Chain A
Amino acid sequence: MPRRVCYTSEVICTRKGRGFSLIEMLISVFILSITVAFVTVMAGTIAVSRDSAFVHNAFRIADNKLDELRAGGYAALPASGPFNDPGLADLPQGSASTTITVWNAQTKKVTADVSWQSADGAQRAVSLTTLITESGGL
């Protein structure tokens, strides 16, 4: 191994004049990466739990709407369009809409969509769908 001249300090260049050995580098990289991974994962869980609360709220909003339409009955089904819900105030830039389409002669397909902006700035949405029949059913 060629001898290297040490300009900086005794610590970095040992008496033997060599650099760090492979095992030393491996260990330090290992420790550093474990720490970085740990911190990243931990920071991630906070965002995940906040997002899961939003998802929870959004599903409640959609569920409430479907229940309301179901209770109103087939004849009272409105046209597709946005709807308002007090729960939307808890979602960042929350918006909600229903899509009502004809499924067959006596059935309509109702979809409630709720969307909002998640913590990372991306647009998130949940959707619930049900069928409402003209007669019978709950």
Chain B
Amino acid sequence: MSRGFSFIEVLITTALFAVLVLAITQLYLVYGRVIVFQTSSIDVTLGGSYIIDATRTAGLQAKRIIATHAFPSVNLTSGTTTVIFELPAIDVAGAPIMGSYDYVGIYASSTNAYHLIDAAPGSSRISRERRLTGALGALSFVYDSPSFPSVTSVTVDATTSALVRGETVQMHLRGHVFLRNL
């Protein structure tokens, strides 16, 4: 009863232990990869959604699309990767301020998409600039009329993608935005 372990017992225990450690390490690594993959797919999906939602929110309230506008930080020109909406300014009570307009610009710059708001004095909207996504693959705005003042709807096509360990995570979203404040 007081003997130690036999050689074969030690050998098998060591082997089992090694296999177990390997398996757990492998699980840990795979799990890490899955997490990274999931996180970037969430980022990619959110990035695309932000672009479509920002365009729709501005489009629904927009009176028209204009060709150019000088935002405090950048001069934008509407086109395939940029859109500028002109929205009637509204006061804190929600009433439109006559003859006063806020401008909302959404544009792509390399892999980034930005959302700019240039609010008129007295408007309840807040001027700001924010980046919608840093994982932009392609962004295009297609208008139903070649002349900006007569545009009534914009089709947004946004592709966001990220490269995760050699594998591409991609989201392709489309939105058809109708100007509802013409």
Q: What is A's interface to B at a CB cutoff of 8 Å?
A: 9-11, 15, 31, 35, 38-39, 42, 45-46, 49, 53, 56-57, 60, 64, 67-68, 70-71, 85-87, 90, 138
Q: What is B's interface to A at a CB cutoff of 8 Å?
A: 1, 6, 8-9, 12, 20, 23, 27, 30-31, 34, 37-38, 41, 45, 49, 52, 56, 60, 153, 171-178, 180
Q: Which of B27, B49, B174, B176 is the one whose CB lies under 8 Å from A38?
A: B27
The reply to whether B174 and A64 form a contact with Cβ atoms under 8 Å apart is yes
Q: Give the tally of cross-chain contacts (CB within 8 A).
A: 55
The reply to whether B6 and A10 form a contact with Cβ atoms under 8 Å apart is yes
The reply to whether B9 and A60 form a contact with Cβ atoms under 8 Å apart is no
- Interface of chain A, main secondary structure: helix
Chain A residue at minimum C-beta to C-beta distance from B156:
A64
Chain A residue at minimum C-beta to C-beta distance from B175:
A64
CB distance from A46 to the nearest CB of B (A): 7
Chain B residue at minimum C-beta to C-beta distance from A90:
B172
The reply to whether B178 and A67 form a contact with Cβ atoms under 8 Å apart is yes
The reply to whether B174 and A49 form a contact with Cβ atoms under 8 Å apart is no
The reply to whether A87 and B174 form a contact with Cβ atoms under 8 Å apart is yes
The reply to whether A64 and B176 form a contact with Cβ atoms under 8 Å apart is yes
Q: Which of A11, A86, A87 is the one whose CB lies under 8 Å from B12?
A: A11
Top 6 closest pairs, chain A to chain B, by CB: A71-B178, A64-B176, A87-B174, A49-B38, A68-B176, A49-B41
Q: How far is the CA of A10 from the CA of B8 in the complex (A)?
A: 9
Q: Which of A11, A35, A70, A71 is the one whose CB lies under 8 Å from B8?
A: A11
| Given A64-B176, A68-B178, 9 new contacts (CB under 8 A) | A35-B27, A42-B31, A56-B49, A60-B174, A60-B175, A67-B178, A68-B176, A70-B178, A71-B153
